[in-house]
Amino acid sequence: MQSDSWSSRPYVSRPNPGELMTDYRARLAHEHAEALERRQTELAEQVSIRNTPGERIRIWERLHGLTLPRDPTHRLLAVVATATDLALEQVLEEQRRRLSGDKEEAPRTDPDPAAVSPAI
């Protein structure tokens, strides 16, 4: 399966002219397997600690075709927090950042491995 360029809705490709039905079915199965693999990868990235909370929330938004609600009491915020493996406060912080008009997320605070000296 592939997606329309203007939406994320999947569509089933049609047989190519002269394509045998068995080849068409095999191609569809291959496309379906690729789409499933992409989704699994995105689901893993949605909870990966390598991604910032904002990145994880954007992945959730893309997967579900929704945007983060503006209302800080919206029930969907808890769903987003659970799905992205974030604390609700982290989701609320991203929501506040977006509402304030900040374009950039705070930089990550991962320590530089070269700057960390081993304890002796």
With contact defined as beta carbons under 8 Å apart, do 60 and 46 qualify? yes
Range of the domain at 73: 19-100
- For residue 54, is it within any domain? yes
- For residue 79, is it within any domain? yes
Residue 5 pLDDT greater than 50, yes or no:
no
Predicted confidence band of residue 14 (pLDDT cuts 50, 70, 90): confident
- For residue 4, is it within any domain? no
Residues in CB range of 12: below 8 A, 6 or more apart: 1, 28
- For residue 63, is it within any domain? yes
pLDDT in tens, 51-65: 999 999 999 999 999
3-class SS of residue 2: strand
Provide the domain count of the chain. Answer: 1
- For residue 87, is it within any domain? yes
User: What is the mean pLDDT of the segment spanning 82-103?
Assistant: 93
- The pTM (predicted TM-score) of the whole model is 0.65
Q: What pLDDT is attached to residue 97?
A: 95
